[in-house]
């Protein structure tokens, strides 16, 4: 095979892997949107907050150390212990559940029956708050996240694909972490699908998604469902935070993956879990291939906007996205 084609294939494979990570974030959006009609802009910051909490717990950081030091003039930083990754993850899940309860109690409960756009803006406020809160609680310096995931290029893939090309070709370069992420994303989607199809809570969740009032009238507690769904979204945010954090360190830019997930949602439709996956893959492959082929001609860094423009053009022809429910409007 010609090398150029092989390179394009490698770019495509890497795009697929990046797409999986986008899909992971988009999944959190879809879950909340389906269950409560809220477009949760704070999902990206939740991923950042989860990752910060995980690192903080694992390293035994003192929460609010910065603030305490500023007020009392002390100099404390660490408790001096190291938690095993698994314990830290379980504790972080607990924190995310508490966060879900707090969000429900102090924000959502008071905004029932408001217009969706008001709720959307409230989540932007929540995003700002959480971002500041996470920084005050755990400090804003870049942290390394290590929960024992494999990293670096996979030699197995390289060796087994080297025969495809000629002299100068050493096989495909694929990060092990990306492969892990793909497997985790697949598991997550399967388990979420099983949960929402077969468990009692899952059915209640789908009922709420269909019609809030009808669900209330058959005795489903809306508030419990909201806490549940925000907890699940928190869990998905934690997974996304671990994957992205292990890839590029835990820092502010982690919260910007929310902005990457938005076009994925538009493409796939806000209400569809498969849509989030397919949309993520299309965007991942599309932006990498575009950067590879057209990027050098226009100065590069097209990844910033390509996904948005693609989604925008796509929406003009299909306003509800690929898998979204058809939008019916009545006066």
Partner 1 sequence: MFYREAGDFKTSYGSDSQTFPIKFDRMRYYVVLVVAFGVVPFIINDYWANAVFVPFLIYAIAAIGLNILTGYCGQLSLGTGGFMAVGAYACYKLMTAFPEVSIVIHVLLAGGVTAGVGVLFGLPSLRIKGFYLAVATLAAQFFLVWLFNKVPWFYNNSASGQISAPERTVFGVEVTGANTDAWAKYMICLVFLVVLAWVARNLTRGTVGRSWMAIRDMDIAAEIIGVNPLKAKLTAFAVSSFFVGVAGALFFSVYLGAVEVGEAFGINKSFLVLFMIILGGLGSIFGSLAGAAFLVLLPVLLKNVLVGGLGWPTDLAAHLELMIVGALIIVFLIAEPHGMAQLWRIAKEKLRLWPFPH
Provide the binding-site residues for partner 1, judged by CB under 8 A.
Answer: 39, 66-67, 70, 106-107, 110-111, 114, 116-118, 120-122, 124-133, 135-136, 140, 259, 262-263, 265-266, 270, 298-302, 304-305, 308-309, 311-312, 315-316, 319, 329-331
* Shortest Cβ 268–partner 1 spacing (Å): 12
- Our CB check for partner 1 shows the closer of 94 and 125 to be 125
Under a CB-based contact definition with an 8 Å cutoff, are residues 20 and 182 in contact? yes
- Our CB check for partner 1 shows the closer of 110 and 200 to be 110
Q: What angle do CA 23, 54, 102 make, to 5 degrees?
A: 80
- Our CB check for partner 1 shows the closer of 70 and 187 to be 70
* Shortest Cβ 207–partner 1 spacing (Å): 23
* Shortest Cβ 305–partner 1 spacing (Å): 4
- Our CB check for partner 1 shows the closer of 173 and 305 to be 305
* Shortest Cβ 320–partner 1 spacing (Å): 8
Residue 152 falls in which region: left (phi positive, over 0), alpha (psi -120 to 50) or beta:
left
* Shortest Cβ 153–partner 1 spacing (Å): 30
- Our CB check for partner 1 shows the closer of 100 and 311 to be 311
* Shortest Cβ 197–partner 1 spacing (Å): 26
- Our CB check for partner 1 shows the closer of 183 and 301 to be 301
- What does the alpha-carbon distance between residue 304 and residue 306 come to, in Å, rounded to a whole number? 6
- Our CB check for partner 1 shows the closer of 36 and 161 to be 36
List CB contacts of 221: < 8 A, sequence separation 6 or more.
none
How many CA atoms within 13 Å lie on the side-chain side of 197?
7
Residue 162, CA distances (Å) to 3, 78, 80, 157, 190 in order: 11, 48, 47, 8, 33
Q: Which residue has the tokens 């925008």?
A: 312
Phi, psi of 171 (to 5 degrees): 95, 165
Nearest to 127 by CA among 46, 188, 72, 187: 46
* Shortest Cβ 284–partner 1 spacing (Å): 17
Q: Where are the alpha helices (DSSP H) in the chain?
A: 3-36, 43-59, 65-72, 85-106, 116-138, 155-161, 176-198, 200-210, 212-217, 222-248, 257-268, 273-293, 295-298, 303-317
């Amino acid at each position: 095979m010609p090398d150029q084609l092989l390179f394009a294939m490698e770019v495509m494979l890497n795009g697929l892997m990046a797409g999986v990570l986008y899909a992971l974030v988009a999944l959190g959006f879809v879950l909340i949107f389906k269950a409560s009609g809220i477009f949760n802009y704070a999902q990206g910051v939740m991923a950042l907050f989860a990752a910060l909490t995980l690192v903080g717990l694992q390293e035994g950081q003192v929460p609010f150390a910065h603030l305490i030091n500023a007020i009392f003039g002390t100099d404390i930083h660490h408790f001096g212990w190291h938690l095993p990754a698994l314990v830290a993850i379980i504790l972080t899940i607990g924190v995310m559940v508490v966060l879900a309860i707090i969000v429900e109690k102090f924000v959502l409960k008071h905004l029932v029956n408001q217009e969706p756009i008001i709720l959307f803006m409230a989540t932007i406020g929540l995003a700002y708050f959480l971002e500041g809160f996470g920084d005050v609680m755990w400090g804003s310096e870049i942290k390394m996240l290590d929960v024992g995931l494999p990293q670096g290029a996979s030699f197995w893939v390289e060796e087994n694909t080297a025969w495809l090309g000629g002299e100068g070709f050493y096989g495909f370069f694929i990060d092990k972490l990306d492969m892990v992420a793909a497997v985790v994303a697949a598991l997550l989607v399967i388990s979420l699908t099983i949960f929402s199809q077969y468990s009692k809570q899952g059915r209640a969740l789908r009922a709420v998604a269909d019609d809030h009032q009808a669900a209330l009238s058959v005795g489903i507690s809306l508030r419990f469902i909201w806490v549940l769904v925000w907890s699940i979204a928190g869990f998905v945010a934690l997974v996304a935070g671990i994957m992205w954090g292990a890839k590029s360190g835990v820092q502010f830019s982690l919260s910007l993956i929310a902005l990457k997930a938005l076009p994925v949602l538009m493409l796939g439709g806000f209400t569809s879990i498969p849509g989030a996956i397919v949309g993520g893959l299309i965007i991942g492959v599309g932006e990498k291939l575009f950067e590879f082929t057209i990027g050098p001609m226009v100065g590069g860094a097209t990844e910033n906007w390509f996904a948005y423009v693609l989604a925008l053009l796509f929406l003009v022809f299909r306003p509800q996205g690929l898998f979204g429910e058809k939008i019916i409007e009545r006066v």
